[in-house]
Amino acid sequence: MTTRLLLALSLMACRPQEVGQDAPVAAVAGEGKRLFHPAAPSSFVDLVESARHGVVAIRAQTPIKSGPAAMFPGAPESTADVGLGTGFLIEAGGVFVLTNDHITAAAQGTPLEIALTDGSTYPAQVIGRDLRLDLALLKVDAARLHALPMGDSDEIVVGEWVVVLGNAFGDEVSASAGILSATGRDAAGSLVPGKAMGFRTFLQTDARIHRGNSGGPMLDTAGQVIGVAVANGDRPSELSFAIPINRVKEIVTSLRDFGQVARGWLGVYVKPVSAELAASIGLTVTKGALVTGVQAGSPAARSSLRSGDVLLKWGDRAVDSRTLPYVVAQTPVGQPVTVTIWRNNAEQQLPVITEKMPE
């Protein structure tokens, strides 16, 4: 059999089905995860076409230096343009624009506008900012705008195809595709006090993300938003990251109603409970978050939590080392919570009062 024939047969065997056909599926193991996810389509044309109406360009009224225009080959870093980056329309009790905070901050107080794919433009007002997640929420007074559907970033798995859309200048929607390289779910413990959320907790992909599509949506093959693209540079060798959309869902109401986010803080260091540890302390199942340290002056220190405790529940919600940081962060500051722990071979309940996470 000739080399050419072998190559042709290989391509036929590997060719994915068209978008809209019944695509093959692959089983996904693991409790709490979806059993199937779609295979890669052979063309992303339909996917991009269905979502492009919700992708907007964010502009300043005066040219800004070091924006997306400066990323083109040969352009000096001081190149100025009104284009700041990308955003997309979301439904949050009304249609708003979500984007990166660093994009709106680059305007330096200059009034903003958004440009849609049909060429229309509208004034935009920043009504909420979260420096920690690098998110900004913009209000747009316009009728009949179509928001993009939000997916579930806790259900996606490594190896799934993703598409990142951008519209830095309002001229044309750009697209890049790749696979999901890491979910960041197992690194949730890096949600610690500080100005920025650790990139280990972000989605990671080999799809190209740069200043032009930063702030744009990352879509799964169903066309749902699973992340917000974040550019940390323009060199092709750098990793690409996106903020998981479930983290956005947790704070978007606060951004809309209060303009900022006040996260709860406990002040403990935790790690997963292994089967060996569970057996050694009398736990019949492997669950919970093992407390390995308590920060001085923290709410945990003011309660009776101590190293060696296993946190089983936060209120009525079961927690582990991955979910605990986010559950605590969503708790209203100053609200008393009854936590269930495992100590001395028995369950105990302790009162805890969260405080605002230090900046």
Residue 354 and residue 333 in contact, taking contact as beta carbons nearer than 8 Å: yes
**Nearest residue to 234 (alpha-carbon basis) of 29, 72, 31, 15:** 72
Q: In angstroms, what CA-CA distances link 11 with 4, 6, 16, 52, 74?
A: 11, 9, 10, 30, 38
Distance CA 102, CA 88 (A): 15
Q: What is the gyration radius of the CA atoms in the chain, in angstroms?
A: 23
The three-class DSSP label of residue 153 is coil
* Range list of H helices, the chain: 3-14, 45-51, 101-105, 245-258, 275-280, 299-302, 324-330
The three-class DSSP label of residue 317 is strand
**Residues with catalytic function:** 102, 134, 214
Cα angle 158, 88, 76 (rounded to 5 degrees) comes to 90
Phi-psi region of 90 (alpha: psi -120 to 50; beta: other; left: phi over 0): beta
Written as six digits, the tokens of 57 are: 């360009």
